[in-house]
Structure 1
């Protein structure tokens, strides 16, 4: 994990002082990506900087790589796992560098662009042919490593991160609201997005995954070509067991490749089959430290308990990052730094948990620099086959029907003026599919192939982006083991007739690991990383922030030039109120994306930089193969909920109405908010809750409730805390 910064002039021109200054500023903004070594190279028509994080440390690993005649220069951010094999394929002397990334510099003039299909690893970088004045930009097939560029004033600015580009002071940060608001991913609209290389910022593009971009610096002509795309050529095995065994061998190879490092390794484990499989196999290759997240969500979903069980099975100690208290202290300033680090408006609580974990790993005495992750398994092993459907049919056939429905909705999304009227509800199902696709778009004969193409986009925009930024923020490198090209291509080669048996609910992975893991781990059902069983739990981080610091959040989000024109402050306030009052929190994610894109404009335009770590202090704990008690988990849940004093005056929130069922002495209550019955409370099944709510029609303190109701104070506190959490009651301020 390293940082690249560069300015390249178009036409027969020489760099000026402003260009050299811009590169230096860009390099400083990305220094956390490569704190071990920083090199700046100023040439006639370009300036280039490289920040290095040393993970594999031969004596000649410094960059840029420069040819003997000085006419070719290369910088690469990433790891080439098969560099020894590539070197061995050529006579002695062709590959002179010992560094893994040096093989690209040495072999590119010999093999040409065909080299990129032979690489096994994760990488993004550039090569300059000074003689022909050609700039080549490259990126790995899945976009694990980032690379952005922008063209302005006959100059090409290149950087590993958005903050690097804008630090040049030559580019103006302007969100492209038209792209964002019509992008299915940004708007959380069901269907496929058509946004491939465009970012959410005007005039800023990314090098698409699996692509080579060549720019003629004499004329400015740009040529873009794709060197890798999904290949569904079917494998020739006849039995399911043959596929499972071949997959196991390739997975072991992928894990071994990812463990290539001279620095200590860590693994993020969630308790799901993906991260548990990676950890189990990696622990056979070398020593590795285990880390997991302890949060209200991981407790609710069982992820934390499953992670501890996996560590116990593998006889490994496990450390956890307790974010329960940190969530409660999350402030507007923390949110700003959170966005600065992640650089994306689609950041969510999952990013926050990973940031806290990265910080803890970076500060831990083990000094791990590489984090193994399970990203990419869901996309290619059928991980979403039980969740993407139209009628809660969790079978493979239900999954395929769900994919066909997504294709239909994608076409409808792009028909002018019909989305809001037709693409919602049952109306869409009344339109004949054959007519729809014949007239407005191609229909894939294999919905699964269209789905894979969409997931490649999602991986680049969300998963790989998240892993890279949350690790690089603390000078760590994340390695998604399942995005090994050989492993992915094998999964894609599974014939259509075997997909149901092997890819439904990731059976191929579960079967491959069943000899190493107990059934409760190998076949544990998939749960979301942060959203859990309830949106209200997963997004409590943002919901609580909006309720506490609404004004500060809106100010940060609307201070930018374009955001102040696009976003309505009054509208945002109303939207925040509605989202907070909605017990399901369905609107929080969309609202936060609007606020985040506006806030990023403010942060990048002002040259804002973080001055401290998060205010919320995440507690780090470690367990050495010991069980976790229910009392321990209960205490962590309580720690994440709103705090109050026994003397605070508590009352029913003004937006909540309590209606007692008839007859008047009924022990059933209906909780009404916004004219909708949201909860029904039975006095028979939960007498204390019923009594507390009835009494709180008039303000009272916890101590008063204890005296009047005769219930233990601890139980009264628990009820009040729960009601505060769901905004049924509020603290009355004098």
Structure 2
């Protein structure tokens, strides 16, 4: 895994931007602590920070073709690149790296090669003969890529926003629509950035830049649902493709470990990886003395004969850690599990460079608890949904179940005028996922921008298949994959997600939801495929999540101090965007997650306003 950056100038004076590129790659050192490289053309500079994992000795970048016409700076992994290489026998390879396979594919097929490229990636290719830059991002958005136009017309790109800002060629302009989206979903969308003049390359898209013209195109779409597939055949194909994915992702020139929570997804990855690697090392994480996951992980590790390590961490100053997160993520990001994830990655990096994870399973197999009320809605309409909510409330009052945050939001929105949206299951899901509803946003003084509800409120034909696909396209890249990329790469740790192998994930996305979830069971196909090989202690487990103790954090003096200084003070930067009086009213009636979302935005604005003169549109 690596960090990439580059600048294309409007005239043949790229040499004048060498220092700007150096500043950019320096800001990406955490993504590639093993080395750096730069390639200079008349109009283009490419930069690279390297985390050496495959072809450690000769895989340095930027890498060029033998005639020096084409160069690439690449971040990611091309799984199964060895097989692809055998199909390119006429290309004069000089290394054993997957990066050179990307170069060879470009020379043989042109930009169209990206449509069949497997793996997780973000890369930029400069073709000096065509005077064109070609950039692309992987299908699900595992690897990030941003671009902007500089003050002198330069095209600037980087793995992270901080790299673009380090160039000194872009003055950031805050995008109020992106802030509104953040308040609704706790993160910025995968196809935008928090700044209106810095763009995210959307997942499954490429960008071509030539003669001052930027072209952005989609190169891949989610596969269609195959409704008539036989359940038994589906389970068999599921097993074949997942084993193939894990086998490919274990390939590295450094040791590979596995994160093990004791949940169904990570346990399955450990099961398959242990069959392929008898010396596999697994890691579980005890965050601030919460032993709930460790016990289950220990049982799985014992069952599969893993070399298991239990990592621990205490967050002594949560306020200081929250401030640090704004530097790591570049944008406001309020999924509070990012803090324990960041600390886990820091601990794991002391042992490994590469770790497999179970990320993506909840979206592909229907693992989230918020799907249950939607299933009842699809089955029996709004009456079924209300019956489910009533049952959950009774269960909670009887002390028989923990009410998850997603269900709490569901209860909240049913009392705030969302009933009309329940004519559409996607509308219900959109409301279900929103931290602040339109009336909340109006109170905060930021409503009226692009609504994330509008396009989902009237599509009565939508089904649970559409909900799962929506989360794979929207929630997963914007929240889950952003979280793990920044948390891991801040420590120079590469995370790999076998569930997101394009062949396996495409197969799962083509399956009808009836093979994944029902009103009584989640992850049906995963359970049918592997439950016989799981330890008894985890077979009945449902989604627990990697949460954070918000109630305890809000009692911490460091958080109280932050709230007073940047969320209660009328002169704080956040109140250049939000209404002070409206925010104070909201804080009086907010739940912990809403309060955290506002606090993260306040901390982010306080930090960035002290560094950049952020204009607002």
TM-score by length of 1: 0.69
Query: What is the CA–CA distance in structure 1 between the aligned matches of 2:521 and 2:216, rounded to whole Å?
Result: 36
How far is 1:124 from its partner? 0.5
Q: Tell whether 2:337 aligns with 1:350.
A: yes
1:349 match: secondary structure:
coil
Q: 1:176 to 1:485 in 2, by over 3 A?
A: same
Q: 1:460 to 1:497 in 2, by over 3 A?
A: closer
- Report the counterpart of residue 7 of structure 2 in structure 1: 7
CA-atom RMSD, angstroms? 3.6
Q: Tell whether 2:198 aligns with 1:204.
A: yes
1:317-357 superposed Cα distances (whole Å, 9 cap, x missing partner): 4333333xx33x22533322222113331243311111111
* Higher mean C-alpha displacement, 456-465 vs 400-409: 400-409
Q: 1:140 to 1:604 in 2, by over 3 A?
A: farther
Query: What is the CA–CA distance in structure 1 between the aligned matches of 2:344 and 2:441, rounded to whole Å?
Result: 43
1:290 match: secondary structure:
strand
1:117 match: secondary structure:
helix
Query: What is the CA–CA distance in structure 2 between the aligned matches of 1:538 and 1:227, rounded to whole Å?
Result: 40
Checking the alignment, whether the CA contact within 8 Å between 1:391 and 1:398 is kept in structure 2 is no
How far is 1:493 from its partner? 2.2
Q: 1:500 to 1:5 in 2, by over 3 A?
A: closer
How far is 1:525 from its partner? 1.4
Checking the alignment, whether the CA contact within 8 Å between 1:349 and 1:530 is kept in structure 2 is yes
Checking the alignment, whether the CA contact within 8 Å between 2:188 and 2:194 is kept in structure 1 is no
Checking the alignment, whether the CA contact within 8 Å between 2:375 and 2:518 is kept in structure 1 is no
Checking the alignment, whether the CA contact within 8 Å between 1:291 and 1:357 is kept in structure 2 is no
- Report the counterpart of residue 697 of structure 1 in structure 2: none
Query: What is the CA–CA distance in structure 1 between the aligned matches of 2:571 and 2:375, rounded to whole Å?
Result: 40
Checking the alignment, whether the CA contact within 8 Å between 1:513 and 1:522 is kept in structure 2 is no
Query: What is the CA–CA distance in structure 2 between the aligned matches of 1:405 and 1:258, rounded to whole Å?
Result: 39
Asked which structure has the greater RCO (Cα within 8 Å, sep 6+), the reply is 2
- Report the counterpart of residue 393 of structure 2 in structure 1: none
- Report the counterpart of residue 408 of structure 1 in structure 2: 427
Q: Tell whether 2:576 aligns with 1:565.
A: yes
Query: What is the CA–CA distance in structure 2 between the aligned matches of 1:497 and 1:6, rounded to whole Å?
Result: 46
Q: 1:243 to 1:410 in 2, by over 3 A?
A: closer
- Report the counterpart of residue 172 of structure 1 in structure 2: 171
Q: Tell whether 2:221 aligns with 1:214.
A: no
* Aligned partner of 1:550 among 554, 563, 571: 563
* Aligned partner of 1:63 among 32, 46, 61: 61
- Report the counterpart of residue 263 of structure 1 in structure 2: 254
* Aligned partner of 1:475 among 480, 492, 516: 492
Checking the alignment, whether the CA contact within 8 Å between 1:389 and 1:398 is kept in structure 2 is no
Query: What is the CA–CA distance in structure 2 between the aligned matches of 1:395 and 1:442, rounded to whole Å?
Result: 13
- Report the counterpart of residue 145 of structure 1 in structure 2: 143
Query: What is the CA–CA distance in structure 2 between the aligned matches of 1:567 and 1:421, rounded to whole Å?
Result: 11
How far is 1:484 from its partner? 0.9
Q: 1:558 to 1:296 in 2, by over 3 A?
A: farther
Query: What is the CA–CA distance in structure 2 between the aligned matches of 1:597 and 1:283, rounded to whole Å?
Result: 42
1:587 match: secondary structure:
helix
Q: Tell whether 2:365 aligns with 1:375.
A: no
2:68 match: secondary structure:
coil
- Report the counterpart of residue 216 of structure 2 in structure 1: 224
Which stretches in structure 2 are left out of the alignment for 5+ residues? Answer: 386-409, 411-421, 443-453
Q: 1:177 to 1:406 in 2, by over 3 A?
A: farther
- Report the counterpart of residue 595 of structure 1 in structure 2: 602
Checking the alignment, whether the CA contact within 8 Å between 2:516 and 2:525 is kept in structure 1 is no
2:174 match: secondary structure:
coil
- Report the counterpart of residue 622 of structure 1 in structure 2: none
Q: 1:322 to 1:499 in 2, by over 3 A?
A: closer
Query: What is the CA–CA distance in structure 1 between the aligned matches of 2:326 and 2:430, rounded to whole Å?
Result: 32
- Report the counterpart of residue 86 of structure 1 in structure 2: 84
Checking the alignment, whether the CA contact within 8 Å between 1:298 and 1:530 is kept in structure 2 is no
1:266-287 superposed Cα distances (whole Å, 9 cap, x missing partner): 2222221011111222122223
How far is 1:468 from its partner? 0.9
1:514 match: secondary structure:
helix
- After TM superposition, the structure 1 = structure 2 runs for residues 206-355 of structure 1, keeping only pairs within 5 Å, are 206-216=200-210, 218=211, 220-234=212-226, 237-238=229-230, 240-286=231-277, 287-295=279-287, 298-299=290-291, 302-323=292-313, 326-327=314-315, 329-355=316-342
Query: What is the CA–CA distance in structure 2 between the aligned matches of 1:371 and 1:412, rounded to whole Å?
Result: 35
How far is 1:594 from its partner? 2.5
1:293 match: secondary structure:
strand
- Report the counterpart of residue 183 of structure 2 in structure 1: 186
How far is 1:63 from its partner? 1.1
1:163 match: secondary structure:
helix
Query: What is the CA–CA distance in structure 2 between the aligned matches of 1:398 and 1:296, rounded to whole Å?
Result: 42
Query: What is the CA–CA distance in structure 2 between the aligned matches of 1:605 and 1:194, rounded to whole Å?
Result: 19
1:321 match: secondary structure:
strand
1:351-407 superposed Cα distances (whole Å, 9 cap, x missing partner): 1111111111223xxx310011111000011112x4235489499778997996453
Q: 1:61 to 1:586 in 2, by over 3 A?
A: closer
1:2-41 superposed Cα distances (whole Å, 9 cap, x missing partner): 011111113x342253x22111001101011111121122
How far is 1:202 from its partner? 2.4
Q: 1:280 to 1:33 in 2, by over 3 A?
A: same
Work out which of the two has the higher radius of gyration on C-alpha atoms and give 1 or 2.
Answer: 1
1:652-693 superposed Cα distances (whole Å, 9 cap, x missing partner): xxxxxxxxxxxxxxxxxxxxxxxxxxxxxxxxxxxxxxxxxx
Checking the alignment, whether the CA contact within 8 Å between 2:345 and 2:488 is kept in structure 1 is yes
Query: What is the CA–CA distance in structure 2 between the aligned matches of 1:135 and 1:539, rounded to whole Å?
Result: 49
Checking the alignment, whether the CA contact within 8 Å between 2:91 and 2:104 is kept in structure 1 is no
Q: 1:453 to 1:391 in 2, by over 3 A?
A: closer
Q: Tell whether 2:552 aligns with 1:540.
A: yes
TM-score by length of 2: 0.81
Q: Tell whether 2:533 aligns with 1:516.
A: yes
